[in-house]
Structure 1
Amino acid sequence: MKMTIRTKILGSTVLVVSLSLILSSYIVFTNMARIVREQAVKDNMTKLAQTSSSLTRMQDRLFKTAETIIADDEINTQLIRKPEASMAEAYFDQVAVMKQLKRFVALDASLLNIMIIRYDGKVFSNYSGYDSYYEAYLQEAWFAPFKSGSGGTRFSEVHEFSYINGEQDVISYVIPYRNWEDKTQDEPYYLVMDMKQNEIAKVFKESREDFERIVLRSGDGRIIYDTEAASPGQGLQPSGDFLALRYDAMSEGWSQEAFISKRKLYESIRPLLLFHLAIAAAGLLFILLLVLPLILNFTRPITVLARAMRRVSAGELRTSVNIRSGDEMQVLGEGFNQMVHELDTWMKSAMREEEMKRNMQINLLLSEINPHFIYNTLNTVIYLSHAERSKDTITITKALIDILQDTIKTGEQAFFSTLAQERQLVEKYVSIQQYRYPGRFRLEWEIPEQLGSCAVLRLMIQPLVENALFHGIFDLEEEGVITVTARADDSDLFVTVADNGIGIDDRPSALDWKRSPVHSGQTKGIGLANIQERILFHYGEPYGIAFESISGEGTSVTIRLPYIAEAERTA
């Protein structure tokens, strides 16, 4: 009795039961890691909470200072603009405000500068002689959201403040308020308190040793402080080496983001991990020594088959395998040989079809507008220009441009079009010929509107109209008529090009003519045989061309195609 490959695999798995050791070790380690991680998260969240408490106290001092300044009647009175006051009185008011603001700055080590901006732009500060600097300072980008009222928070982005002792990064706390002592104005005053960023850094000094990185963000997401000064602004994303924490319980929407190194978290259980890894490695080695010969025996046919597949992928389609394992692998080998044989047959057939398609493309290119047609058309344009027929010149030039644009289509558009698009191309071509041969012929259309979206072969109608014109109509003394009609039944589309020209005497010579190009002054024609070949290539039997001609009465050519709407072809 032949053993199936499934039976062989099931039998070999009995020998590798010891792999459960790896699973059990993994489960133990995972649980221990989870416990350590949860405890570490709790401990570090406590540290973040302590840091948040310090930051909140700093914020509260700032808020209380702001409330005190805004509610100070003496300061608000001295801020009021007094038109009747002398320059000395205005100066003394400014000095008085400066002294009081200095007192507030001295009471809070986190404050560097306090400004009150009056409605008319006058700035009162704890620094004197900074009027020109403040004028430029308040034009910087950090103050624009507060001035326009579009700021989502009372804290600004980190920016630079220059003073007598140098430059320092600050975060501004901005409050617009109403000065109730100023009864004459409804315009807001602005209180701006610049807080030192390095004071915030001091809060993080102790806790930063426990984290790889800490970022303090404002309520609108801007970074206030980042322990990684070399790469500020980068978002914190959890990864395989780090664990991300977030603490939001602070005023004004401030939040902390921190990274914990998993390496530090797992240092306490590393010896246990190494012990479990050693046990698992020893067990795995023992199992491999037992199972490896079996695996080699079982997988040898697979290896042979894989090598054969690589040779086939490299183009060696005469490759075959000889597998005599007596199981499913033998069936796969036989199927592989059959598949390669069929693939070789299909490739040869595909190459023949591709050659046919390439020949058809070449024949299709023969129908494109040649230099003689362009030359004759441009001569007509020159003639019309000399005759000062500018509108006619524009019409014939635009028609020529549209025809030339149609000749450069590629891909799927190089083979297929819609009946409406074919009609447009023919009308452009005929409009040019009517300027060259006025009064010699007219073109009539009998195509229902609903058939305009039907899919047809590209350059299918124009060659027939051209043949009718030059081989049927121009030999008449009276005006010729070319009629293009279309009709459809449930499954087929019929397009007919008929003329009242001289007709053709006998069918064999007609077919020879249809295979020959039109005279050199026009486009290089596609004969009926070429159109027939393209129809058979794309649609097969029973589609094609029906040809009727009566000498002295005219010629009729009917094309039969499958009825396909454009939406169905492109779906």
Structure 2
Amino acid sequence: MRKIKNKILGSVILIVTLSVTAISALAYEKFSTILEAQALREDTIHLEQTTNQMNHLIDDVQKYAANMVNDELLQQFAARLQYPSTYDELSAYHDVVTQLTKFNVLRDYLESSAIVRSDGKVFWSSLYIDPYFEQLLQQDWYQKILKSNAKSGFSAPHTIMEPQSKKVVSFFIRFDPQYGGVLLLNIDYSAFESIFQYLSKSFDQVAWIGPDRTFLYQQGIEAYPPEAEVLAADGPDIKVTKHNKGYYLTSTFDKSQWSVFTFTSKDRFYEWVGDIVRYWAIFLALCLMLCFLLFLPIISNIIRPILQMTKAMKQVSMGNYNVQLSFHSNDELSVLKNGFEMMLGDIERQMSEKVEQERWKRKMSAELLFAQINPHFIYNTLNTVVYLARKKNYTAIEEMIESFIGILHDAVNIGDAGLYVTIKQEMNIINHFVRIQKYRYPDRFELVWNVEEQAMGDYIPKSLIQPLVENSIFHGFSEKESVGHIEIIIRKRSGRLRISVKDDGCGMSQEKARAIMNGTLPPARLPSGAMKQIGLWNIRERIEYLYGQEGRLIITSREQEGTKVSVLLPSRQHSAD
């Protein structure tokens, strides 16, 4: 018999392994392509965000400088080349420094500013005149500005001494010709550098390109990208270029001659695919382990009756007719068992077996009654996840999937140990269900728990409270426009539990409530639940079967005012399965 068990178990594991492997192989190529496209899209989004940041900074600098050159005091100072005395000129310079300082403090990125008059004199915002600044303007970065004849623009990064070495990017803007002169704004290089350093976290190579393809910032790259096939142009700013080693993304900045390009290698994409392969290997190992753990007891249950019948036949062949078969089965083995017992004439044993078999069937029916998950609930939940995925609401997706897994785990936990749960466990499942429904029906209802601490450890039938919450959500508030309120009240008094679910929904007639409590309303006329096919009628039947006269179902309701459903049970601190 052990050979039969090993053959069955081996066949199951082989089928599962081949099925999972075949499906994974078919999905691998498609999935890797989708993953690469998704990763490329994320890189494009990161580059777009950086482009927007740079454009915002450039635009702010240009507008701020335009405001400064329109300042009357600065215009007059730039226009006036002669003063009666050096003292008068220094006094006017002092007023200009005060005005420049006011402008400087309003922007964190401004390191300093200066006015270059048409006669070549430089007046810095630090209130001192030093030949160093006139020499500074002889450098290439400023000479290119003069030669460009542009109204305004940015210089290449350069270093100034004020009072210590500082790397800056200068923005120049010319005063109107009637005033003459140039306004220089020295912008801290780190204001630009921080933007590209953040971008470097998402790419293998990053470069900030100035006019004539000069590098203003570079990380992990030594040369301008080679010519390659242009894969796509995502809008006017982002261009995606495919290379044999990866992808280049290029973006230009508005109102400037700057651009940025990034590089992401294909190796990085396939590292992610490698993670998926490792995940698949772990998933396959778990599948095999679960197959072994789940099918071993099933196969043992199938083989056990055959072993018992073999032993019984040996006993009969030795002359011992006082034998009994204790296994229970609903297949052909049960027919053989009954025939064997009839042959022995053990009528009493047959009667006892039928009673035991009927009790077993009733218990399994009670378990299966609430062990099924409505396909509509699965469909609606997954449909909501698809909607949230399109909205890229990943936090909501994560919460819904966690709650859905919790409900599935609860649903498959059926057996002798799963017929009863503690109130605390039931609360956890209801919270999972309510979280999913709140994403499906946002701002339609609120749930409040009112549970005594001493009742948390008491055992109640599984899925006893949840159908009552379903009825309140799907039927109590179906025609109500305002937000509905559900309150779950659990009290423990004198060895008994009182579980009440109260809502302020549409309610029902008193005649219908009495019919449900008395069992005179057929279950087909009751509204079905959205997650499990259990209505008030089924709850009443379960309470009657499990507790007899010790359990009661009480319904109080008024149309358009709300419903309160109460269940009275004996208090139990251990499972009664």
Q: Do both share a fold (TM > 0.5)?
A: no
- The bucket for the TM-score relative to the shorter chain is 0.3 to 0.5
TM-score normalised to structure 1 length = 0.39
User: Of the two, which has the highest radius of gyration?
Assistant: 1
TM-score normalised to structure 2 length = 0.39
